[in-house]
Structure 1
Amino acid sequence: MLLHPLLSRLIRIGTLTVRYPDGQERRYGGGPGPSGGLTLKNWHAARRLALNPGLAGGELYMNGTLEPLRCSLIEVIEVFAVNLAEAGHHPVSDMLDRLRRLRRWLDQYNPAGRSRRNVAHHYDLDARLFRHFLDADMQYSCAYFRTGAETLEAAQAAKQRHIAGKLLLDRPGLEVLEIGCGWGGMALALARGWGARVIGLTLSAEQLAVARARAAAEGLADRVRFELMDYREWRRPVDRVLSVAMFEAVGVPHYRRFFTTVRDALKPEGVALVHSIGRAHGPEATNPWLAKYIFPGGYSPALSEVLPAVERSGLWATDIEILRLHYATTLHHWRHRFAASRDAIRALYDERLCRMFEFYLASCELAFRHAGHMVWQMQLAARADTVPLTRDYMLKAERAPLPA
C-alpha cells in the first residue's frame, strides 16, 4: 500500500486518521496542531491519493470515494495544508509540479478565443449560484477587513472605497475603464459614489446580462456601460484603468501585452489600479484540480513575474500593497454562506457541483492561511508626478463622505 508510508513521513504536525477500505483505521502524526480524518471507500481511491494528491483529493471528494471522518472537510484539508507547507513536499507531486512549471507557458497561453472559453467555464454558471454565497453587491474578489469583525457586506464596501482612493477619483466625470467587470458591482459603485463614467469589459455572457440589468435598474445606464470585449481590443485612452481579480486569467505569456494595453489606455495624467491574487514565495504552478475544475488557464503570479512586464511597459509602479489574510477571511464568509444555502444550490445544480464548490472554497481559504497566497494591489501611472508623493491622500479619500 503506497499511501501508508507516504502519510507516515508527511504528517508531523497535528493528527490525521485514515479509515482504509478494509475498515482498518490508522493514525498519523499525533503532535500539536490540527486534527482531521478521512475515509477511503476503495483501494483505487487510496492509490490515486498516493500518486497524485493535488488532483485526486478534490476528485475523490467530488465523486464520494473520499469522505471526512468525524470532522469537516476543511479540517481534513488543513492537516495536509499545514504539513505540506512545513515540510512539505510529496515526492510524486513535486515531480508533477516541476512538469507543470515547465509547460506553464503552454497551459497559460490565453489568446482571445481561449480566454472566452476559460471564462465561460466558471463565470457563465447561473448567477443564482453566486448570489447564494457572495455579498449583496456580488463582489467576487477579496474584501477589505480593517478589524476582521466586519460583515462581508461592510468589508466589500470598504474594498471599493480603498480602491477608489487609489484611483484618485478626485472629481466627478472621470472616465474609468474596468477590465473584468464581474457582475457590475464595482463599476456601479464608482458611478454612484464618485460620479465616474465607467466602461466595464467582460468575457462572460452571463455576467454581461446581469451587469446591464443592474445598471438599468439603478438608473445608471447613462453613466455605466458594459461590453463583451477582450481587453486587447480596447483602443481609446481614458482617465483611469481598473482591473480587479481578472489578472489571474491573463496568463504569464501575456503579461507584457496586458501592461502595454493599460499604458496605451491611459491618458498622460492617468492612473491605473490592478488587484490580483499572488503568491509570496516565488513562481509555482497552478494546483491541477483548481486548473481543471474551477479556473482553467488561471494562475496567481509572484510579483517577481509581474514587475518585469510593468518595467518594460514604461509605466511607473507608484504604489504596491500586499493584503495577506484578507482573502482567507473573505473565503471563510463565502464558505459558510455556501453551506447555509447548500440545499438550494443542490436543487439548482446537483450534489457533484456542491462538493466541487465546497472543496474549492475550503482549499482556497487554507491556501491563504498556510500556503503563501496573498493579494497584491499595484497602482500604476504614466508619469512619476501623477499621484501625490505620500499615501496620505488614500486614507483621506477613504474617510471622506461620498460625493452627493
Structure 2
Amino acid sequence: MGRTHYLRGKKIRRPCDRITLSEEQYKAEKDRIHHEGLDGQVNVILENYLDLDSDNYQFDKIISIGMAEHVGKKYLPLYFNKVSSLLKPGGLFLLHFIINMNAQEKKTKNWIAKYIFPGGYIPGIRETVNIFPMFGMRMIGFESLRRHYARTLHLWAESFNAHKDKLPARYDEKFKRLWDIYLRGCESGFRTGVLDVGQFILSKGINNNLPMTMESIYKD
C-alpha cells in the first residue's frame, strides 16, 4: 500500500525508470542501481509526478503500484489525466491498486482515515472503469489479486505480532493493538470480497500491435 509511482520508457536524452517523492527511497534506489551495475540504463527522479512536463517526458509504459488509493476521490481525474498526458499513443499503463467492490462508492472508514491513511480513498470498481474512457484509456486486461493480498496481510499480521515486543518504546501498546486490528480487519475485507486488488492493463487509444493473448505477460 505504498505511494510509489513507477515510470518506464524514454526521456528526450536519457532513460528514466522511477519517480518518487521519498528522499529515503530515492537514495536507496540510487545505491541499488549502482550496485547492480545499471548506471546510465536506469534512472530515478526525486519529483512529484504531477510536475513532470509532458513536452519533455513521453513514455512507452507507465506502472503505478499502490498509489491510486492515495490521491483522493477529488483528484482521481487529475491523476488519470496526468498519466494519459505522459503516455505515447498506444502506450501501456499497468494500474495496480486496492478497489472497493461495493455497488456504491463510499468514503474510507473514519477509523482508517484517522489512524492509518489520512486523506485516502478506495476507488469503487464502477467509478474506476467509467473514468478510463474520459482520458483515452482502453482496457486490455484485468486480474484480481484479492486472495493473494489476503494471504499477504495474514502473513504481515503474524510477523508483526511475532516481533512487536522488539519495537522501539515509542510504539506503545495502543499502537500495537491498533496495527493488529488494521491488518486483521483488512485481511477480512479481502477474504470476504469487500475489497480487491485489481491489476488493470490499459492502452492509450487503440493499439493493434499487441499480442492476441495475455500469455506473454507470464513468460519468464
Q: TM-score range by the shorter chain?
A: 0.7 to 0.9
Q: Deviations over 1:122-166 (max 9, x none)?
A: xxxxxxxxxxxxxxxxxx57xxxxxxxxxxxxxxxxxxxxxxxxx
Higher helix share: 1
1:356 matched to which residue of 2? 178
* TM-score of the two chains, using structure 2 as the length reference: 0.83
Q: Is 1:304 aligned with 2:122?
A: no
Gaps of 5+ in 2: 10-14
> What is the percentage of aligned positions where both structures have the same residue?
33
CA–CA distance in structure 2, aligned partners of residues 293 and 238 of structure 1: 36
2:158 matched to which residue of 1? 336
Query: How many residue pairs align between the two structures?
Result: 211
Contact 1:368 1:374 in 2 (8 A): yes
Q: Which amino acid aligns with 2:52?
A: W
Structure 1 residues 389 and 217: alpha-carbon distance in aligned structure 2, compared to 1, 3 A threshold? closer
Pairing of 1:184-263 with structure 2 (within 5 A): 198-235=16-53, 236-263=57-84
Name the SS for the 1:199 alignment partner.
Answer: strand
CA–CA distance in structure 2, aligned partners of residues 254 and 352 of structure 1: 33
Q: Is 1:294 aligned with 2:110?
A: no
| More RCO (CA 8 Å, sep 6+) | 2
The structure with the largest alpha-carbon Rg is: 1
Deviation at 1:386, TM superposition (A): 4.3
Contact 1:318 1:384 in 2 (8 A): no
1:345 to 160, 163, 167: 167
Contact 2:96 2:200 in 1 (8 A): yes
CA–CA distance in structure 2, aligned partners of residues 318 and 231 of structure 1: 24
Deviation at 1:331, TM superposition (A): 0.5
Gaps of 5+ in 1: 1-139, 142-178, 192-196
CA–CA distance in structure 2, aligned partners of residues 228 and 347 of structure 1: 32
Deviation at 1:388, TM superposition (A): 3.0
Name the SS for the 2:43 alignment partner.
Answer: strand
1:280 matched to which residue of 2? 101
Higher strand share: 2
Q: Deviations over 1:260-294 (max 9, x none)?
A: 21111111231111111001113112011111111
Structure 1 residues 225 and 355: alpha-carbon distance in aligned structure 2, compared to 1, 3 A threshold? farther
Contact 1:323 1:375 in 2 (8 A): yes
1:164 matched to which residue of 2? none
CA RMSD of aligned residues (A): 2.6
* TM-score of the two chains, using structure 1 as the length reference: 0.48
CA–CA distance in structure 2, aligned partners of residues 358 and 248 of structure 1: 21
Q: Deviations over 1:332-371 (max 9, x none)?
A: 1111121222222245744343333222211111111125
